Amino acid sequence: MLQSRAIAFAFVAPALLFLAAILGWPLVQAVLLSLQDVRVIGSPGAFVGLSNYERVLGAPAFWRAVGLSAVWVLANAVLQTALALAAALVLNEKFPGVRIARTWIIITWIVPTVVVVVIWRWLFSTSGGMINPLLLQAGLIERPVGFFATPWTAMATLVFINSWRWFPFIALMVLAGLTRVPEELYEAARIDGANAWERFKSITWPLLAPTLSVLAVIGTLLSFNVFDIIWLLTAGGPAGGSRTLPVLIYETAFKGYRLSEAAAISVIATVLLMAFAILATRTLEKGEER
């Protein structure tokens, strides 16, 4: 037993060493940096202990960013799950062209972020965009709407664009889960007279729940770290209304020239994410045991 464990460890050791090198070492460096007062990359810094952490934890901007990150993660999780589930249920049906649809649905995920940003920025533009004229013609609005003009509309628009980009990927994962649901269960339910909603509630949802739970954990971690779409579309604005933690870290490091303070925020964010991941994993494990 002991020998087989040693062999197993020997096999995974190279991968562990590799991970330690590319993840562990930068993390250690980030922690060390957060204990100094380095302002610009390459400049020297003195040891200042935990003062960066004190400053960060006492700053309203940090807590606002934490709150916005929570809103961002939650809103993305809800919207992406709803869209992905709907798309997966449709793609799980048999209809002409379903194979093509299953392949092409991931196109939004393949398109480079910068292209996504350019497309949506143009579509939502008040001068020359397409969405405002459509809404005007439909009589839904009286004057062009600035989708990025206020903090809440900007956040909502960003969530929509990010979800549009990511939901097909999740949809495919959900679809993989759906294909594992035995068809006989649906047949038995139909024979018992269950309607579509009852079949979904009693068969699909319970059997899909483990897949969705895992996706929720992964999706939360991925959503939390999204920086590119937010930065390119709003740069955290307007008036800080979309300044999530990754945006705050970038701003602090490269616009505020407070590299060590940014490192402190990064370390706190890492701790938050790790705590979430551990908690979520344990909850999932308990669920499986039950």
Partner 1 sequence: MQSWLRDSDPGIRISDNVIGVPTGKREPTMRTLLKAALAGATLMTPASAALAQDKVELTLWHMEQPPHRVQRVQEVIDAFNAANPDIVVKQEPQNWGEVYAKAPAAIAAGQGPDLLFAIPDFTPILKDIGALNSVEDFVKELDAKHDFVDSAVEAYSYDGGVWAVPLYNMAMNLWYRKSVFQEAGIEVPETWEEWKAAAEALSKDGVYGIGLPANKQLYTDQTVYSFMVNGGATEIYNEDGSLRFDNPETVASYRFYADMHKMSPADSTSWTWGEAEACFSSRSCAMVLQFTVIATYDTQAEGDAADLGVAAIPHAEGQEGHNTISYANAVMILAKDEAKREAAEKFISFLLEPENYGRFLNMEPGLFMPVTADGAKAESFWSDPMVQKYKSQIETVIQNAANGRLFGFTSGRTFPSIAAISAQNIIAETLQNMVVNGQSAEEAVAAGQARMEEVSKQ
Which residue ranges make up the site for partner 1 (CB under 8 A)?
40-43, 121, 124-128, 143-151, 154, 233-239, 241, 251, 253-258
Nearer to partner 1, 69 or 242 (CB): 242
For partner 1, which is the closer residue by CB, 133 or 182?
A: 133
CB of 73 to partner 1, least distance (A): 22
Please report how close the Cβ of residue 38 comes to partner 1 at its closest, in angstroms.
10
Write down the least CB distance from residue 112 to partner 1, Å.
16
**Start-end of H helices in the chain:** 2-19, 25-34, 51-57, 60-91, 98-104, 107-110, 113-124, 131-137, 151-179, 183-191, 196-199, 205-224, 228-233, 245-250, 259-289
Q: Which long-range contacts (CB under 8 A, 24 or more apart) does 242-251 make?
A: 242/68, 242/72, 242/151, 242/154, 242/155, 242/158, 243/61, 243/64, 243/65, 243/68, 244/65, 244/68, 244/69, 244/72, 245/65, 245/66, 245/69, 245/269, 246/69, 247/65, 248/61, 248/62, 248/65
- Considering the complex, what minimum distance in angstroms separates the CB of residue 77 from partner 1? 25
Q: Which is nearer to partner 1, 35 or 105 (CB)?
A: 35
Residue 259 Cβ vs partner 1, minimum distance, rounded to whole Å = 9
Q: How far is the CB of 151 from partner 1 (least distance, A)?
A: 7
CB closer to partner 1, 3 vs 137: 137
Buried b (16+ CB within 10 A) or exposed e, 207-241: ebeebbeebbbebbebbbebeebbbebbebbeebb
The least CB distance from residue 264 to partner 1, in Å, is 13
Q: Which is nearer to partner 1, 3 or 127 (CB)?
A: 127
**What's the CA gap between 283 and 272, in Å, rounded?**
16
In terms of CB distance, is 125 or 213 closer to partner 1? 125
Pick the closer one to partner 1 by CB: 129 or 189. Answer: 129
* Contact status, residue 109 vs residue 169, Cβ threshold 8 Å: yes
- The angle subtended at Cα 151 by Cα 147 and Cα 152, nearest 5°, is 75
